[in-house]
């Protein structure tokens, strides 16, 4: 015989993230970490940070000791070795090892310290180079990776499996988000190591003010990329912490992509550069297309708010105000 028992009253169900939660944001000085800090603080959460100068997150013992000491309600893992196509292909050892070590320290340390909730940030480069477009989460591990960021992608895949393993073995409420290419205030504008969008802002601005007749960009201009403003990503992170408790990673994007050539035309326009653009095809294109299927995130209620052109203009204004200061 079965008896229908009434469920608990709605307000007694334990929320995935309580109001005023204490949250450690690893990587708080970076593009993503700083946006997540702003968003969590605006929602009334207590944000805990620790600089790399006093805690290197690659080191497991001090990281675990720190997490045991502060015992946060949740951890957002936004600390990582990050860079654009050239940095990834030049320094695969650091992209593999630093990321594996940070993930091992922080995720295992959080579990050892009894942290109940953790959000791990991966990247859309985890998917196969020839994945179907838009890329659903279940395309993971279905084909070979893009060679320019294989080491980084493999480290990120290990991070996903690590969060899934803590859930499967210990019932931990640990989740993973896979953001598309991000940009915004706090980005890295160093031309050797940055991603394409901040590089284009800087190249066009400097060409305009230096009177250069031409700007040379990398690759053929034909690869397609999807760009999400980091404030939209931060909103998605909060939404996932509040509402998502599943095994599978969740893609975070805006649902639209464009060619690098089209992106260059927009940035050229925003920066009011009048000269021409040429393409250095000796530089790598990377993956041909990387548009995420965001239906899983959309079903949780996510809608990006910042259109690309506005976001570029805001990021350009931010960089003009901050370019002389240390990031
Ligand atoms: N930027 C993008 O386009 C995308 C980013 N992501 C993911 O988002 C996350 C954050 O990336 P993003 O903000 O762009 O990267 P940033 O390089 O802007 O920030 C990374 C942060 O990690 C910190 N960090 C790195 N190594 C260590 C270490 N050993 N110990 C302590 N702190 C460390 C850095 O500290 P310090 O400031 O001292 O250098 C910095 O604050 C990453 O997991 C990345 O994979 C995913 C998709 C796209
Ligand atoms: C987020 C993602 O970011 C990385 O992947 P990526 O998307 O290929 O990286 P990217 O932003 O550096 O380049 C995008 C495209 O743009 C072209 N391009 C033109 N001119 C410049 C230029 O001046 N700089 C750069 N960086 N690229 C340029 C460039 O040739 C390429 O075709 C991963 O390694 C990995 O880190 C990851 O997960």
Phi, psi of 234 (to 5 degrees): -60, -40
Query: Can you name the residues that pair with 75 across neighbouring β-strands?
Result: 24, 118
Residue of the CA atom closest to atom 28 of ligand 2: 196
* Catalytic-labelled residue, pool 91, 127, 152, 244: 152
Contact yes or no for 240/300 (Cβ under 8 A): yes
Counting ligand 2 atoms within 8 A of each CB, the residue from 78, 81, 85, 160 with the most, and so the one to mutate, is: 85
Interval 24-42: pLDDT, tens: 999 999 999 999 999 999 9
Q: Is the pLDDT of residue 8 over 70?
A: no
Instruction: Answer whether the bond into residue 96 is a cis peptide, omega within 30°.
Output: no
Residue nearest (by alpha carbon) to ligand 2 atom 12: 84
Residue 135, pLDDT score = 98
The yes-or-no answer on residue 166 being catalytic is no
Contacts 24+ apart (CB under 8 A), 87-90: 87/192, 87/193, 88/148, 88/149, 88/151, 88/152, 89/147, 89/148, 89/149, 89/284
Q: Has residue 322 been placed in a domain?
A: no
Is the confidence metric ipTM above 0.95 for this complex? yes
Task: Report which ligand 1 atom has the smallest distance to the Cα of 51.
Answer: 38
CB-ligand 1 contact for 33 (6 Å cutoff): yes
- 219, part of any domain: no
C-beta separation of 184 from 231 below 8 A: yes
Ligand 1: centre distance to CA 14 (Å): 31
Q: Name the band, by pLDDT with cuts 50, 70 and 90, for residue 75.
A: very high
pLDDT at residue number 324: 83
Tokens of 301: 């209620």
Ligand in closest contact with the CA of 122: 1
> What is the number of the ligand closest to the CA of 203?
2
Alpha carbon 264 to its chain centroid, in Å, reads 22
Residue 279 maps to a domain: no
Asked if the model's pLDDT at residue 295 lies above 80, the reply is yes
Between CA 170 and CA 105 the distance in angstroms is: 17
- CATH code, domain with 300: 3.40.50.720
The answer to whether position 40 is within a domain reads yes
Tens digits of residue pLDDT in 241-257: 999 999 999 999 999 99
Confirm whether 205 is domain-assigned: no
Residue 300 lies in a domain: yes
> Which residues are registered as beta bridge partners of 175?
119
Give 116 Cα–ligand 1 centroid separation in angstroms.
23
Question: 98 in a domain, yes or no?
Answer: yes
Indicate the number of domains in the chain. Answer: 1
Structural domain includes residue 75: yes
Between the alpha carbon of residue 44 and those of residues 38, 222, 238, 297, 302, the distances in Å are: 10, 43, 12, 23, 20
Expressed as residue numbers, the domain containing 135 is 19-186+226-256+290-307
Ligand 1 atom with the shortest distance to the CA of 152: 45
Q: Please report the atom of ligand 2 found closest to the CA of residue 182.
A: 1
């Amino acid at each position: 015989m079965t008896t229908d028992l009434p469920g608990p009253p709605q307000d007694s169900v334990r929320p995935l993230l309580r109001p005023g939660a204490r949250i450690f944001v690893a990587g708080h000085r970076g593009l993503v970490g700083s946006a997540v800090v702003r968003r969590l603080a605006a929602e009334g959460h207590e944000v805990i940070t620790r600089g790399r100068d006093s805690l290197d997150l690659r080191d497991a013992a001090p990281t675990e000791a720190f997490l045991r000491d502060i015992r946060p309600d949740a951890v957002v893992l936004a600390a990582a070795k990050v860079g654009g196509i050239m940095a990834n292909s030049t320094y695969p050892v650091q992209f593999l090892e630093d990321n594996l070590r940070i993930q091992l320290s922080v995720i295992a340390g959080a579990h050892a310290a009894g942290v109940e909730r953790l959000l791990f940030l991966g990247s859309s480069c985890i998917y196969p180079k020839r994945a179907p477009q838009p890329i659903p989460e279940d395309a993971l591990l279905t084909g070979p990776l893009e060679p320019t960021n294989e080491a980084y992608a493999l480290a990120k895949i290990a991070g996903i499996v690590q969060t899934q393993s803590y859930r499967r073995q210990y019932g931990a409420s640990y989740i993973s988000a896979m953001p598309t290419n991000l940009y915004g205030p706090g980005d890295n504008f160093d031309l050797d190591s940055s991603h394409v969008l901040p590089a284009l802002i800087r190249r066009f601005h400097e060409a305009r003010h230096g009177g250069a007749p031409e700007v040379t960009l990398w690759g053929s201009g034909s690869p397609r990329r999807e760009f999400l403003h980091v404030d939209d990503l931060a909103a998605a992170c909060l939404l996932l912490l509040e509402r998502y408790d599943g095994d599978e990673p969740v893609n975070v994007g805006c649902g639209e992509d464009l060619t690098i050539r089209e992106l260059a035309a927009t940035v050229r326009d925003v920066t009011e550069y009048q000269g021409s653009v040429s393409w250095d095809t000796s530089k790598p294109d990377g993956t041909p297309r990387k548009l995420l299927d965001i239906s899983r995130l959309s079903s949780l209620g996510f809608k990006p708010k910042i259109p690309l052109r506005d976001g570029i203009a805001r990021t350009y204004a931010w960089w003009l105000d901050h370019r002389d200061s240390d990031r």
